Structure 1
C-alpha cells in the first residue's frame, strides 16, 4: 500500500550507533554506574558463602556479625548505584528520543508531496506516532535494562569461575538451549514485527479515511462496505499479532525451562567436588546463589529482547522515511541572491514537451501536452471539470513527474530540482489550506522566516485581508484550535499572504480564491495582480474573469490543449473558449 521503504539492518545499526556517539559521555556514565551496581550486587552471595564457611569452622558471632554488616552495606550500595544508573539511562533515552523525533520531522518535511499522498495518512501517522513511541520506549527503557542485565550476567558468571573453574563450566550447561532458541527467534522476529507494523498502518489508514469521509459514507450508504473493509484490516492485524505471539510462545517456555538445569547440575557436581575437598561448602552455596541471582537479569534480558525486536522493527520504519526523501538544497547564505521584489521580470522559462501522465490505474489523464510559459507571463488554464487542469498544475509545480515527456525550468527537469530550491522558485497554491496552531506571525513566518513585521503586514494588506485590523493582538494573536479560528475565506487569504512573502518567480494558482465570495475574490485577485507583476503566473481559472485578464489562455479538454491564445483571439475564433465565455456571461 505505502510507497515508503523500510531501512535495512545496516542503516539501523549505523543510526543506533549514531544516537550513542552523539551522547557518548552520558553512555559512559551510564555504563560505569550499571557496572558498579552489578559489582556491588556480587558481594552478597560471596559474603553468604563466607558466613557458611565461618559457621562450619566454628567461628564466633562477632565474625558472622561483621559479614552480615558487610552484606547490608553491599545491598545499600547496590540500590543507590542502580537508582542513579537508571536515572542516567532515562536521561540519555529522553535526549535520544528527542533527537529521533526532530530527525523524523525533518525527514518527513523533505518528502515530496506526491510520496506523502501515495503513502497515505495511516502510514505516516503510524510511523510518526506508534513507531516513534515504540523506539522511544526501547531507547529509554529497554536499552538500560539490557545493558545492566548483560553487565550483571558477565560479572555473575565470572564470579562463579573465580570460585572454581569447574563450577564455572558446569554453570554454562543451560546456555546452549537458550542460545539455540534465541537464534531461532531472532531470525523470525524482524519480518514478523515489520508485517505487524504494516498491518497496523493499513488499519489506521482505513479508520482515518472512513472518519474523514463520514459524510460521504453516510450519503452514499457505504457504511456496510467500510465496516467490511475495516474488519479485513483488523483481521490482518490479528493474524500478524498471532504470528508474533506464536514466536513468543516457543521462545519463553524453552528459556524458562533452561533456568533450573544449571543450578541442579552445580549442586550435584559441587557435592562431588566437596567430597574430594576440591571446594568448600561455602563456595558451592555461593555458586548456586550466583546462578539463582542470574535468573532475574537473564529473564529481564530475554523478555526485553522481544521488545527490542519490536523497537528495531519500528526504528527501521522510522528511518525508512529518510530513504525516500530527495536531497536537500544547499542553504541560502549571505552571498546567495534572494528573490527580488515585484516589478522585475526574473528568469524561469517553464517548458512542457509531450507530457503524458497517468495515476495508479494506468489510464492517461494528460495526453501529449506541449506548453511554453514565458517569464513574466500570466497564463490562464481553463476547461471543463475533469479535463486535467489540476493534474497539469501539479506537473508544472514538480509535485508529480510525467510518465513520458518532460517539464523543465530553464532547461532542467523540474522534478530534478532539490525540494528547497523548487519551493523557492515555484509555488503552488490550492483551495486547500491550513492554519497552524500559533500566532499569526508564526503562520506567516513559515513562508519567510526572515520577514519583518512590516513585511508581514504589507503581505496581508496586499491580499485584502481586512480582518487583520480587528485582531486584538495584531500579529501576536493566537490562531487555531482553542484560540481564534479563521473562516475559510480568511484562511485562504492567509495562505495567499504566505505566497506574497515566499516571493517565488512562478506562481501556480489552482482555485486559489475558490473559498472567497465573488466580491472578496475579485478584490483579492486585483490586489494580487499588483503584487505578482514581474512574476510568472499560471492560474487554473474557474471564474473566466481571471482568463480575461491573462496574457494567454490555454483551453484543456480531455487531457489535451485544444486552444491557446489571448482572450480576444479565442473569443473571435469561436471555439470552445468562446462557448465558455458566452455561457459565463449568459
Structure 2
C-alpha cells in the first residue's frame, strides 16, 4: 500500500516564492525596469493621437500628421527594442530560478529516508520529478514573466488614463466587479482541482509501472483483467479531475473575455456622452479609448496565464512537500562518510531492545524483538518468507524507526543520528542495486569520493570483482550504467558490495545480498567478505543455510519474533525449528 508524500500548503508556497525573489533582487529589478520602460514607450502613441485629434477639432494644430507618424514610429521601435531586452532579462532570471528549484528538489529527494520512498511508491515520486518539474518549468519560464509584464503594463495604462482625464477612468471600472467575481470564484476552486489532477496522474504512473514490472507475475496468476480494471479506474479518476479543471476554465475564460471588452465599449460610449456634456475634450476621449483598447492585451495575458500560475503553484506545492514529510527516520543531508569505525580496538555495539514495527497502524509485523549482536560477530537471521527478517534488518540498519522500543549504537538512538554519521556505523545491502551512469571506478568511489585508485581496486578485489573489472574495454574507466557497458546482475551486485567495503562501516546488514549470484560464486564471495570484514559485525539475512552454518550465531525469526538464538551446532542439537530447516535443506 502506497502513501502519497505530503503537499505544501499555500503559506509555504508563498514564503518560498518570496525567498526566491529575495535571492535575485538585482535581476528582478532589471527585468521589471525594462518592462516598465517598454510599457511607457507604448503609451506615447495614444497621447499623441489624442492631441492631434484635439488640435484638428479646434483648428489649432501646429504639428503635421507626418511628424506625428514619425514620432509614433520612433516610439514603436524603441518599445520593440526594450521588449526584446526585457524578455531576455526575464528569461535569464527564469532560467536561474528554475535551476535553483531543480537542484533543491534533487537535494530534498536524496535526503528522504528510504522508508519514505518505499511508502510513497514509484508513481508519486516519478510524477513529481517529471510532470511537476516540467509544469513548474513552464510557469517560471513563461507564466511569471508574462504576468509581470501584464501587471506593469496595466499599471502604466491606468496611470495614463488618470492623467488623460480622471472622469474617463470611470467607464473602465465597470469591468472590475466582473473580473473580481470571476477570478475569486476561479481561485477558490482551481488549486485543489489541479492538485487532484496531479495526484490522479501519479496513480496512473504508479499502476502502469507496477503492471510493467510485474508483467510475468500478472500473467502467471491470470490477473490481466484485474490490472486492466485498475488502470481503467485510474484513468477514469484522472479524466474526472481534468474535466473538473476544464469546467472551471470554460466558466472563467468567457467571464474574462467579457471583463476586458467592456472597458473599450464603455469608454467610447460614456466618453462620448461626457464630450456632449462638455466635461471632456474630443482628444481626451480619443486617447482614453485607445488606452482602454491597450488594456485588453495585458489583461487578456494576465488572466490567460493565471491558469498556468495555478498549475505551477500546485506543482511547486508538491515539490516543496517532498521535504515536508515528517518521517521518523534520519533526514539530514548526506555528507561524505566519516573515518572508518570498524578498525578501532573497541567497535561500537549495535542493539535492538523490545522493538515493534507496523507498516499499517494496528498491525505489527515485529513483536517485542530484542537482539544484541556482539561487536565483530557474524550473525545469521533465518526463517520462512514473511517472518519479519528483512523488516528487522532494516530497523537495525536505520532505514525504519521502531514504533516502540529502541535501536541504538553505543546507547545512541539510531534514528536520531544524521544520515552521514549513520552510514559510518551501519549499512544495508539488499537484492536491489543500481549501476549509475559513469565509470566503474566512479560507481565504486561514490561512497568515498576522495578514495584513490588503489583503494578502489582493493575494494573490488575484496569481492572478487577485480578480474572482470580489469577485463572491461577500458578497465575501471569503462562507462557503465544506462547506455554504457552492460553489467550482469551478479556483477552489479558485486559492485554494490564493493561500495560497502570502501564505505567501511563497522556493521553490515546483508539482506539476501548474494541471491543473484550462482551458489558456488555466492559461497566464495561470502568467504571472501568474511576474511575482509574480520572484526566487523555482519548480520546476514538469507534462506541459504550455508550462511548460517558459517555464522557465529543464528537467530531464527518466525511471525515477527526471534524464537531461537544460538550457534549452528547448538540449534541443531536443540532439535527445534532451525534443526528442521537444516534437515530440510540437506534433503
TM-score under structure 2 normalisation? 0.95
What residue is the counterpart of 2:126 in the other structure?
125
- Give the corresponding residue for 1:582: 583
* Contact 2:179/2:259 (<8 A) preserved: yes
**Correspondence 1:266 to 2:267:** yes
Corresponding residue for residue 416 of structure 2: 416
1:180-238: CA deviation from partner (whole Å, max 9, x where unpaired): 21112111111111111111111111111111111112222211111111111111111
Partner of 1:376: 376
1:307 and 2:308 matched: yes
1:371-450 correspondence to structure 2 within 5 Å: 371-450=371-450
8 Å Cα contact 1:346-1:535 kept in structure 2: no
Render the CA deviation track for 1:431-464: whole Å, top value 9, x for unaligned: 1111111111221122112211111111001110
Q: CA deviation at 1:470?
A: 0.2
> Within 5 A, what are the aligned runs for 1:5-44?
5-44=6-45
The alpha-carbon deviation at position 403 of structure 1 amounts to 3.1
8 Å CA contact 1:45, 1:290 repeated in 2: yes
Report deviation, 1:270: 2.0
Look up the match of 1:238.
Answer: 239
**Separation in 2 of the partners of 1:171 and 1:577?**
87
User: Quick one: distance in 1 between partners of 2:185 and 2:333?
Assistant: 47
CA distance in 1, matches of 2:107, 2:470: 35
- Is the 2:113–2:331 Cα contact (8 Å) retained in structure 1? no
Determine the C-alpha separation between the residues in 2 that align with 1:417 and 1:372: 19
Q: Distance in 1 between matches of 2:181 and 2:425?
A: 59
Shift of 1:115: 0.9
Residues 334-376 of structure 1: CA distance to partner in whole angstroms, max 9, x if unpaired? xx96115x65455332222222233327443222212111222
Unaligned runs of 5+ in 1: none
- Structure 1 CA distance for aligned equivalents of residues 31 and 527 of structure 2: 64
**Cα distance in structure 2, aligned partners of 1:194 and 1:389:** 38
Question: Which is worse superposed, 16-25 or 86-95?
Answer: 16-25
CA deviation map 1:60-80 (0-9, x unaligned) = 896211110011011111111
Task: Give the secondary structure class of the aligned counterpart of 1:366.
Answer: strand
Give distance in 1, aligned partners of 2:55 and 2:61.
8
CA positional deviation for 1:99:
0.9
2:415 is aligned with 1:452: no
CA distance in 2 between counterparts of 1:330 and 1:200 reads 29
Cα distance in 1, alignment partners of residues 249 and 334 from structure 2: 49
Moved more, 282-291 or 13-22: 13-22
Q: How far is 1:81 from its partner?
A: 1.0
Equivalent position SS for 1:379: strand
User: Would you say the 8 A contact 1:460–1:494 is kept in 2?
Assistant: yes
The secondary structure found in structure 2 opposite 1:359 is strand
* Conservation of the 8 A alpha-carbon contact between 1:381 and 1:555: yes
Q: Could you tell me how far apart the structure 2 residues matched to 1:29 and 1:327 are?
A: 42
Shift of 1:171: 2.2
Q: Distance in 2 between matches of 1:13 and 1:363?
A: 39
Within 5 A, what are the aligned runs for 1:77-476?
77-324=78-325, 328-329=331-332, 338-340=339-341, 343-360=343-360, 362-465=362-465, 466-476=467-477
CA contact (8 A) 1:328 1:420 kept: no
C-alpha distance in structure 2 between counterparts of 1:260 and 1:560, whole Å: 74
* Distance in 1 between residues matched to 2:144 and 2:227, nearest whole Å: 41
- How many angstroms apart in 2 are the aligned matches of 1:569 and 1:50? 107
Q: TM-score, normalised by structure 1?
A: 0.95
- Residue 8 of structure 1, CA deviation: 1.1
Deviation at 1:540, TM superposition (A): 0.9
Mapped to 2, the partners of 1:63 and 1:332 lie a distance apart of 73
- In 1: Cα distance, 2:510 partner to 2:380 partner: 9
Q: Is the 8 A contact 1:345 1:376 kept in 2?
A: no
